[in-house]
């Protein structure tokens, strides 16, 4: 949540079109302290959060990354829209599994709806191949880890699978996806509106899921990079000061 706040704070200032010096003055703090808040170096107190919300005209929930709605409307896990056909079905034993399923199903649904509006068959097929390879890998690994797992269920030889042929297929699919989009752009094909406001308005529920997935992956990668390269990260923060 700390990183969500820092990211949102910086973006709101940029959106408002004011400098750090101007914003800091309006918020009653020094420019250096505002810089620390925007870079996630320090955590602000409740009084500053209230001032920032008033200054940028947003809710605390939006500022803290708990809602996509600037007025603070939040969606609980059990209320999250499910685009799948079995949306009323509950996965036994795990609320977390149900939530993660919904997040991904909704995100994929939104992605393919946008690709459908794009009108590129090549992009749609490449995206399907990419996701299919990921599902194949996860299911095969799970299946073979179980006592009932048998290699003869799969037509890709065990040695080839462990050597990474499915991963190679996934990479090729990603390249084909990029090529399809490049061809679409070169042919002056149109794209559906994909700004924050447009997606939030066009997909009020599904975009909430996609937003969580996108930022969840981003935060996870940032944590991994920080743990692997702590010195480099420290240098970057020093430069921003």
Residue 85 lies in a domain: no
- Does 241 score more than 60 pLDDT? no
Contact in structure between 6 and 38 (CB atoms under 8 Å): yes
- Give the C-alpha distances (Å, rounded to integers) separating 46 from 32, 69, 76, 142, 189: 19, 20, 24, 45, 48
| pLDDT tops 80 at residue 231 | no
In a domain, 221, yes or no: no
pLDDT tens for each residue of 58-109: 888 878 776 666 665 555 544 555 555 454 554 454 567 777 888 899 999 9
Spatial CA neighbour of 203 closest among 120, 108, 76: 108
At residue 218 the predicted structure's pLDDT band, cuts being 50, 70 and 90, is: confident
Same domain? 125 vs 67: no
Q: Which domain holds residue 155?
A: 119-190
Q: What per-residue confidence (pLDDT) applies to 12?
A: 87
Mean residue pLDDT across the chain: 83
52 token code pair: 């920032």
Task: Answer yes or no: is 210 within a domain.
Answer: no
> What is d(CA 53, CA 58) in angstroms, rounded to the nearest whole number?
5
Residue 67 resides in a domain: yes
Which of 74, 108, 136 terminates a domain? The answer is 74
Higher pLDDT, 208 or 131: 131
What tens digit of pLDDT does each residue of 153-182 get?
A: 899 999 999 999 999 999 999 999 999 999
Total domains in the fold of the chain: 2
DSSP 8-state secondary structure symbol assigned to residue 40: T
Residue 59 maps to a domain = yes
Contacts of 183 (CB under 8 A, 6+ apart): 120, 122
Q: How many CA within 13 A on the CB side of residue 30?
A: 4
- State pTM to two decimals: 0.62
* Helices vs. strands in the chain: H and E counts, helices first: 12, 0
Count CB-CB contacts under 10 A for residue 185: 11
Q: Tell me whether residue 154 is in a domain.
A: yes
Is residue 124 domain-shared with residue 68, that is, in the same domain? no
Residue 128 covered by a domain: yes
Residue 10, domain CATH: 1.10.260.40
What is the per-residue pLDDT across 106-116, written as a single tens digit (0 to 9) for each? 999 999 999 99
Report yes or no on 238 lying in a domain.
no
- The pLDDT value given to residue 94: 59
């Amino acid at each position: 949540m700390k990183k969500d706040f820092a990211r949102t704070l910086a973006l709101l200032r940029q959106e408002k079109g004011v400098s750090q010096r101007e914003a800091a003055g309006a918020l009653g703090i020094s420019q250096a302290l505002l810089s620390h808040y925007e870079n996630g170096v320090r955590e602000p107190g409740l009084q500053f959060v209230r001032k920032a919300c008033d200054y940028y005209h947003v809710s605390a929930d939006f500022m803290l990354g708990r809602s996509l709605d600037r007025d603070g409307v939040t969606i609980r896990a059990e209320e999250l829209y499910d685009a799948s056909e079995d949306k009323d079905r509950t996965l036994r034993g795990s609320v977390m599994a149900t939530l993660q399923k919904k997040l991904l199903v909704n995100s994929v649904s939104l992605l393919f709806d946008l690709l459908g509006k794009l009108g590129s068959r090549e992009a749609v097929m490449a995206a399907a191949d990419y996701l299919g390879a990921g599902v194949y890998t996860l299911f095969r690994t799970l299946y073979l880890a179980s006592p009932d797992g048998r290699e003869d269920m799969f037509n890709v030889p065990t040695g080839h699978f462990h050597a990474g042929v499915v991963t190679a297929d996934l990479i090729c699919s990603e390249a084909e996806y990029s090529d399809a989009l490049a061809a679409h752009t070169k042919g002056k094909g149109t794209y559906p509106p994909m700004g924050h406001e447009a997606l939030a308005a066009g997909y009020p529920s599904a975009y909430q899921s996609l937003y969580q997935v996108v930022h969840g992956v981003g935060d996870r990668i940032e944590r991994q990079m920080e743990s692997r390269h702590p010195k480099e990260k420290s240098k970057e923060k020093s430069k921003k000061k």
